[in-house]
Amino acid sequence: MTPGNTTGWRLNRQINLSVILQLVLLASLIVGSWINLQRQLDLLQRDVSILIQSQNNIEQKLESLWTKSISHEYRLQAIEKSKSKTNIADDTF
């Protein structure tokens, strides 16, 4: 403080080399974390896309099986009806 200036403190504007180094290190850590996060998000997006594709494939296979199951059910009913008619015809003779 100067003898004539009693109103406040004088700010020392010297910047230490270690402070600059710490700031650069902190900035590089932030950038590295950001890049790593972006990479992880890309991997997650790829995995989700693969899961959605797999789900669509399974849905198509289930639909195909369901259609075949209904078809086989109708065939079985037709065979049972035809067999019961044959049994009734055999019983009457």
- pLDDT of the residue at 83: 85
Residue burial 1-23, b: 16+ Cβ < 10 Å; e: rest? eeeeeeeeeeeeeeeeeeeeeee
Residue 2 lies in a domain: no
Q: Is residue 6 included in any domain, yes or no?
A: no
**Residue 76 lies inside a defined structural domain of this protein:** yes
pLDDT digits (tens, 9 = 90+) for 3-33: 555 566 665 566 788 888 999 999 999 999 9
Tell me what pLDDT residue 86 has. 77
In a domain, 34, yes or no: yes
Q: What share of the chain is helix, strand, coil (3-state, %, to 5)?
A: 80, 0, 20
The whole domain housing 64 covers: 13-93
pLDDT at 67: 95
CB-facing half-sphere around the CA of 33: CA atoms within 13 A: 6
- What is residue 92's predicted lDDT score, i.e. its pLDDT? 59
pTM of the model: 0.56
Report the domain count for the chain.
1
pLDDT single digits (tens) 48-84: 999 999 999 999 999 999 999 999 999 999 999 888 8
